[in-house]
Amino acid sequence: MTGTRLGILTGAAGHIGRATVDKFAANGWSLVITDVSDAVEEVARNAAREHGTTVIGVQADIAREDDAVRVAAVAANSGQPMTFLGLIAGINHEAAPVDQIDMDIWDRVFSINLRANVLMMKHCVTLLRQSGGGAIATTSSWWGRAAHPYFSAYCASKAGVIALTQSAAGELAPEIRVNSVAPGNVGTPMHFDALEVEARERNISLKEMQEIEWAKIPLGRPAEPTEIAAAFHFLASPESSYLTGAVLDVNGGCGFY
C-alpha cells in the first residue's frame, strides 16, 4: 500500500465521511474505508485517483460482528501498521415523541450509532497495539450533550457514545488515545431532513424551523462537512498527543452562552 499511515474510516459514503476520506487521503494516509452503501467503492476509487494514495473500499454493515471482523482483517492484511480508527457512521430518525417511538427504530439507531462503535473498537484495538499505539475518534453530537425533543433515540445513543469514548480512553491509555468529535448542526441532507420533520411536528414552516435552530448557533450557520473532517484529522495527528477522553465540540459555539 502507498502512504506511511493506515487508518480505518467508517461511514465513508456519507457527507462527513466523504469529506474525511478526502482530508486524510490528501495528507498522505492509506485508508480502509467502509460503509453499508456500495457507494463506498466509488468513494475509494475517486480518493485514490485524486490523491495518489491507497484507499480500499469495503461494503459492510459494521453493526454485525462478522462484518466488523472482515473490515479489520482488510487492514490487518494490508501490510501496514494501523494507527487510526475513525468511527463516523451514524443515523438519525424521524421525529417522534417518546411515548410513540417505534422500538424497532430505537434498536436500529442504537445498533448503528453505538453497537457498531463497540464492535470496531473490539476488533481494531489489537491492530493499534501491534502498531505501537495510535488513536480512535468517535462521532458523538451536541445532541448527546443537550438532548433535543422528538429525537430521543438519537440523543440517547450519542450520549452513550460519549460515555463509551471516556470508558475506552481510560482503559486503553497510554498506548491508544480515544476522543470524540461532537458536531452540532452540519449542512447535510440529514440535518435538513430533521428540520423538515420537526417543522411538521410543530406545525410551522421549514424556514421558521431553520431560523429557530440556526439562531441558537453563535456563528449563525451549520458546519460544512470539511470542518468536521478537519477535527478528525487533528485527533489522528500528533498535534493532539495530550488529548484522551476529550469531546471536541465542533458546533459553532452552542452551549457557551
CATH code where residue 132 lies: 3.40.50.720
Q: CA 187, 189, 192, 198 torsion: positive or negative?
A: negative
Q: What is the mean pLDDT of each run of 10 residues along the chain (257 residues)?
A: 81 97 98 98 98 97 98 96 97 87 96 98 98 97 88 96 98 98 88 84 91 88 95 98 97 76
Q: CA 22, 31, 10, 67 torsion: positive or negative?
A: positive
Catalytic residue among 150, 154, 242, 257: 154
Distance CA 78, CA 3 (A): 12
Distance CA 160, CA 244 (A): 17
Active site residue 242: no
Task: Answer yes or no: are the C-beta atoms of 223 and 252 closer than 8 Å.
Answer: yes
pLDDT in tens, 143-200: 899 888 888 999 999 999 999 999 999 999 999 999 999 998 898 887 788 788 889 9
What is the count of structural domains for the chain?
1
Inside any domain, residue 152: yes
Inside any domain, residue 203: no
Range of the structural domain that residue 43 is part of:
5-93+103-184+225-250
